[in-house]
Homo-oligomer: A and B are copies of this chain.
């Protein structure tokens, strides 16, 4: 059972003060995580109702790992715990934004990099042009 209510109408969803997440068919919302100090985009992940509740109540980022199909307390093994400085929800409540400060070595990506977004796609060129490392 989700601990969250369902918005009764579009106005409640978009202009209300009740968190009523619109989980998708897999029970997930998208979560965008940025560095609270620099604003840099660190990662995009997913949350189910339980990870969202845990994140709110603990103030640390909990996700749902789709590959492992389990709750994922980010940093529990790596030490890269994400303390949530601010949490926001979008207009239609299917996306969450976490501004976090990262403990441990400050990293986020499983490849060892600070951010998961380390490659740049060239623009106004054919889409087959190679990616560049940032």
- Give A residues with C-beta under 8 Å from B: 3-4, 14-19, 30, 32, 34, 38-41, 43-44, 52-53, 56-59, 84, 86-92, 94-95, 97, 109-111, 113, 116-128, 130-134
Which of B38, B53, B94, B121 is A88 in contact with, Cβ under 8 Å?
B121
Contacts of A95 in B (CB 8 A): 44, 116-117
Q: Is the CB of B89 within 8 A of A131?
A: yes
User: Of all chain B residues, which has the CB nearest A126?
Assistant: B57
- Docked Cα-Cα span, A118 to B120, in Å, equals 28
Complex Cα gap A15–B116 (Å): 11
B117, A88: Cβ atoms closer than 8 Å: yes
Q: How near does chain B come to A54, taking the closest CB pair, in angstroms?
A: 9
**Contact B56–A121 (Cβ < 8 Å):** yes
| A53→B111 contact, CB < 8 A | no
Q: Judging by beta carbons under 8 Å apart, are A57 and B91 in contact?
A: no
Residues of B within 8 A of A117 (CB): 88-90, 95, 97
Interchain CB contact (< 8 A) of A131 among B18, B126, B127: B18
Q: Which residues of B contact A127 (CB under 8 A)?
A: 3-4, 19, 52-53, 56-57
